[in-house]
């Protein structure tokens, strides 16, 4: 009876270790894929902005990629408009599209942190345009 418990204990511990290793490997693969996709999109958007001569006006570029929804975009803030954020992404036809989150509309909506959290949760966009 004691041998049986020993064998079952070893099997359970082995399964737990295998699950932990599989989880860590899966997380590592996902994060690597996320960084790769973000870098590709950031390079494409930067190339397009450079074509238009806007490269010197860029203050920050922040890529984001969500595997579940397939959203892959770059948030750009320009030096001359530090309070406005522009989100650039590529559509199915590989055309660059942009969305603007303007400070005036942002400030009118928020007077508490609760409204800010609600704003982040909902799909927000005020105006869309095609850059081509």
Q: Does residue 56 carry a pLDDT above 90?
A: no
Contact of 67 with 30, CB cutoff 8 Å: yes
Percent over 70 (pLDDT), the chain = 77
Q: Which residue has the tokens 């590529």?
A: 90
Whether the CB-CB separation of 57 and 66 falls below 8 Å is answered with no
More confident residue, 82 or 130: 82
pLDDT at 105: 58
User: Is the pLDDT score of 120 beyond 70?
Assistant: no
Summarised one tens digit per residue, pLDDT across range 8-39 is 999 999 999 999 999 999 999 988 888 898 88
- Sorted by sequence, the CB contacts under 8 Å of residue 105 that are 6+ apart come out as 126
Domain boundaries, the chain: 2-130
């Amino acid at each position: 009876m004691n041998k049986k418990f020993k064998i079952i204990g070893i099997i359970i511990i082995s399964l737990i270790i295998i699950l932990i290793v599989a989880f860590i490997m899966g997380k590592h693969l996902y994060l690597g894929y996320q960084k790769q996709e973000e870098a590709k999109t950031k390079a494409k958007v930067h190339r397009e902005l450079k074509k238009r001569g806007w490269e010197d006006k860029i203050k920050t570029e922040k890529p984001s990629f969500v595997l579940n929804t397939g959203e892959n975009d770059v948030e750009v803030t320009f030096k001359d408009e530090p309070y406005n954020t522009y989100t650039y992404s590529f559509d199915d036809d590989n055309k660059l599209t942009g969305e603007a989150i303007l400070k005036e509309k942002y400030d009118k909506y928020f007077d508490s942190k609760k409204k800010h959290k609600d704003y982040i949760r909902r799909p927000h966009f005020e105006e869309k345009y095609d850059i081509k």
